[in-house]
Every structure is written in C-alpha cells, then in structure tokens.
Structure 1
Amino acid sequence: MIEIKQLTKSFKKNRIIDQLSTTFSKTGVSVIVGTNGSGKTTLLNMMTNLLEADRGDILIDTLSPGSKAYKSKFFYLPSDFYLPGYMTGKEYVQFVLSRYETSEYEKAPILIELLDLADGQHKTIESYSFGMKKKIQIVAALAANTEYIIADEIFGGLDFDTSLLVQELFAAVGVTKKIIIVSHERNTIDRFPDDVRLMRHGSLVHFEGSPEELTQVIKQEEVLREKLAIVQKHFMSSEVLL
C-alpha cells in the first residue's frame, strides 16, 4: 500500500501540493486527472523519489523514499523520458530488466510481439518514433514485474488501437499489482472508472461522478474557465450563443 501523509511542496512562493494525504491500495488501476499545472507530475516525482517534499511522508509498503528497497517497489514511466539512443530496443529492455530482481525475462518477447516491435527491437532507439519509444518503455515496465507501476501520460503518442491494447494489459496486471496513471484521455477514464482521483488546489480527492460530470468539474477550474470564456467570446457564432 502507498500512504501519503500531509505532503507539501512549493516552488518559490507557489504552493503546488498542499498537505495532501491519501492512500493507494496494492492492486487495481487508479487514474489521476486535473488541469495543467495542478501538481500531478510533481506528486508522481515525489512518489518516485525524483523530487524531495518540503514536508510530509510517503511510504510504499512502510518503506521510506531513498532506499534501494523502496526504489525496487515501482517502475516509473514519466511523460518526458530519456532513452539511450545507441542501444537497440532489445538491448535496452534487457539492461532495464537486469536492474530488477523481480523481472520476468520471458515476458519481454511476448510484449514486444504484442506491441508490434518485433522488427524494431533490433534497431537503435535513436531511429524510433515517439510512439515506439513509449512502447519499448511499456515492455520494460510490465516485464520488470514490480509491485507498482506509476505512469505519467503514458498513452500520449500511441495510436488508438495500441492505447486500447495497453489498457487491457494494465487491467490484467492490475488484478495482482497496482497501477497509477496520470491521464487526460477520456477513454482511460471510461476504462478505469472505479478509482478516479481529481487533483485540484494542491489536494487529491476521489471523484465519484460520471466522466461527463468530471469534464464539467474540470471546465470550472479557474484557468480553464477563463480560457473557455475567451473561446466563447471570440470564436462562437452568435447563432450558437442564441
């Protein structure tokens, strides 16, 4: 279980995370949504020990950030990642899996085939498209077999059918492991409606309504509301407004 207690993070005078407390169970898929700048990535970076909190605690199965045991609990799929361009896809996966004692090497070829990387695995990553880079990261994440997978906008850059396939993979893995996804994709929320969390005002709260209701709530966030007002003023015809 992941326990977050009174977590706070500020950048200069701007408080991004404000005494956030929440828990995540050991299984299932949780989806975090929120407007740009609401603190979603900041929260994930603190959970994965890439960023230090100003105050508060994060525990993964009672372990504190910084230890090897803590880091071995999760695989992080960030939205902006660096991959070694000189490695082939297969070499990269093998290298990553060598860093995790939990790795299931036999799953990698199956995932590579599923994600249409059979030919691309022998090419250097520098030749990969953005979508292929996402796919090879997903292969490594699932084959590493960690107890938790934390993913930030993982579906961006994937075509529609691949997104659906990865969702099904996450659903299958989520039966025995925990997957936390930051996503703005409507189909992701539709696929995993059981635990949707809304990031707003520095806090993370469960959202119990429908995807349509969630869309309306997000539209009322201050920054987006102001932009939508500009759209209505300058781009909507008078006939639509009537």
Structure 2
Amino acid sequence: MVAMLDIQSVTKKYGKRQVLGPVSAKLDKGRYYALLGPNGAGKTTLLHILMGLTNCSSGMVTVRGTSIDNLETRRDLGFSPDDVPFPESLTGWEFLELHNRLRQRDDSERCLKLSELFQIKHALDQQIFEFSHGMRRKLQFVAAVSHEPALLALDEPFRGLDPRSSLVLRTFLQRYVDGGKTVLVATHDMLRAERDADEVFLLHNGLIRSQGTAEEVRSQAQNALSLEAAFDALTTDKKSAEIDNELILDLTATTTRR
C-alpha cells in the first residue's frame, strides 16, 4: 500500500550548517501522528518542507506516491502554522475567501460551519487586527481544513486556545482521522501526544531519535514511565543529566530549608 506521506532521506542546510536530517518516515492513511521535540529541534522546518513551503537540500517527499512539487498534490494538503503574520486589514471572511480562491474551490458553506463550531462566526466581518490570539489560531485552522485535505499538518495547534476550544479541536481531529484522513501535529506537549496520537516521532537536533506508538517509544527507553521521560533518556547524556540534577538540588536547597 502506498503511504499517505513518504519522507525519504530529507535534509536541510543553511549555508554549511545542516539543521535537519537525514529524516526518513512513512505516514499512513487514517492515522494521527505527533512530531515531538524542543525548540530548535527542526519541527517547523520539517513541516514547511512536507507542505512544499521550503525546499529540502536533499531527499524526496511524496504524497500518495506523487512528488510534493506537484501543484495538484499540494492542493490536497492543509497546514496551520504556529506564528505567521496575518493580513490584518482583511476581515476574517475575506481571509477565508482568499484561501478558497487560491485553491480554486468554493468551500464557503464548510467555512461557515467550522467558524460556528470554533465560535468565531460572529467575528468574520471584523478585521483580523481586532482578533485575539486564540481567534487567529481558530481562523487559521478553519482555513487549513475547510477543503478537507487528505493530509493535515498543524504546528502547535492547541497553543492559545481556551479549554472548550481545545476539547473541540481534539474531538474534531479524532473524528477527522476516523474518516480516513492523516493528521500530523508538531508540539512540545508530550502528555497530549501520548494521550491522542497513534504514533509519535521524537525529533532532536534535526534527527528522529525514536518513532512508533507511545508504548514502543517508552520501551526503547528502558520502559520509561512517560514519553517525557523517554525523550529525556533518549536525547540526554548521563553527564548532562547529572549536572541538571545537581543544579536543581543547589537552586532549591535554600527553599527546602525554609
């Protein structure tokens, strides 16, 4: 069976500095994947390559066997970035219409339903500069998923959302995957990833250190109790861990004595 997304030995260099890879992985249809790693691990760079927004230095990315360079292939992708400047003079509705025109589709009805679900329908006639951070995240998500992409990539999608919106988004993504779509979420939140994702990728210094189900990844780290502990065990050398523990003890000693 052809993979939904096939990442083949992808690297990225800026000048002589290699910031990513080589990275290889396959994502299947109807699965929820989490891309985990600290700041600077290469998560956003990898997402941009997978969405065709940035060229890789070497390697290949295909979606259902077709190169990511193919325009028709890109139209079946959805991407919600973390922090990207909005055209703030546009209204929310104009922003969604712009995305529809770029895709040469009319998904107006679905945009309205999604906006109602995420409680921003009432604000679509307002200019984006009036939107709160959370409202902007919701608007970006509506734009990303309005055309029902086969592959949906989200960069820190829960950041800035209130509890109700987080629950709605979580439920939506689970149902979306149940419908045969593929979701890839880049996040720092290992507890959420362990709870929600079918499989996880641990990315550190531009390389995938481990991949599989949460249970499989924990077993690779001597049956760590959590993904967080597994990530630490798989990416931190013993000496660095000892130094960290010594610093914690030193910095909290005064507090403890009080």
TM over 0.5, shorter chain: yes
- Equivalent position of 1:183 in the other structure: 187
Matches within 5 A, 1:145-156: 145-156=148-159
When residues 212 and 95 of structure 1 are mapped into structure 2, their CA distance, relative to the original with a 3 A threshold, is farther
**Post-superposition shift, 1:161?**
2.1
TM-fit CA distance, 1:117: 0.9
Deviates more, 1:50-59 or 1:186-195: 186-195
Return closer, same or farther for 1:126/1:32 CA change in 2, 3 Å cut-off. same
1:19 corresponds, among 2, 16, 22, to: 22
2:132 match: 129
How many pairs are equivalent?
Answer: 241
For the 8 Å contact 2:128–2:136, the answer to whether it is kept is yes
Paired AA for residue 252 in structure 2: M
| Structure 1 contact 30–181 (Cα < 8 Å) conserved | yes
Distance in 2, matches of 1:158 and 1:230, equals 36
Report the Cα distance in structure 2 between the residues aligned to 1:102 and 1:183, rounded to whole angstroms: 30
What's the TM-score once normalised by structure 1's chain length? 0.88
Give the Cα–Cα distance (whole angstroms) in 2 for the partners of residues 177 and 4 of structure 1.
Answer: 18
Contact 2:40–2:205 (CA<8 Å) still a contact in 1?
A: no
Matched, 1:89 2:92: yes
Q: Which amino acid aligns with 2:115?
A: I
Unaligned runs of 5+ in 2: 219-223
- Please name the residue that 1:206 is paired with: 211
For 1:123-171, what per-residue CA distance to the aligned partner results, in whole angstroms no more than 9, with x for missing partners?
1001111111001111122212111111111111111221121011111
The residue number in structure 2 matching 1:60 is: 63
1:50 aligns with 2:63: no
- 2:102 alignment partner, SS class: coil
Q: Could you tell me which amino acid in structure 2 is paired with residue 213 of structure 1? A: S
What residue number does 1:237 align with?
253
Q: Which has the higher contact order (CA 8 A, sep 6+)?
A: 1
What is the SS of the residue equivalent to 1:91?
Answer: helix
How big is each residue's C-alpha offset from its partner over 1:78-97, in whole Å with a ceiling of 9 and x where there is no partner? 11212211111122112212
Contact 1:152 1:183 in 2 (8 A): yes
- Compared with structure 1, are the counterparts of its residues 225 and 14 closer, same or farther at alpha carbon in structure 2 (3 Å cutoff)? farther
Counterpart amino acid of residue 186 in structure 2: V
Separation in 2 of the partners of 1:47 and 1:233? 42
The answer for the alignment partner of 1:4 in structure 2 is 7
Aligned to 1:111: 114
Q: Rate the CA distance shift 1:85–1:239 in 2: closer, same or farther, 3 A.
A: closer
The Cα offsets for residues 93-115 of structure 1, whole Å up to 9 and x where unpaired, read as 12212333566432222211121
- Native 8 Å contact 1:4 1:22 kept in 2: yes
Distance 1:127 1:230 in 2: 47
Tell me what 1:140 maps to: 143
**Which residue pairs with 1:217 in the alignment?**
230
Distance 1:160 1:52, change over 3 A: same
How far did residue 233 of structure 1 move?
A: 4.5
> CA–CA distance in 1 between the matches of 2:85 and 2:246?
37
The one-letter code matched in structure 2 to 1:216 is A
Can you list the C-alpha shifts for 1:209-233, whole angstroms capped at 9, x where unaligned?
3694211133343498588447505
Q: CA deviation at 1:13?
A: 4.1
Over aligned residue pairs, what C-alpha RMSD do you find? 2.6
* Residue identity (%): 23
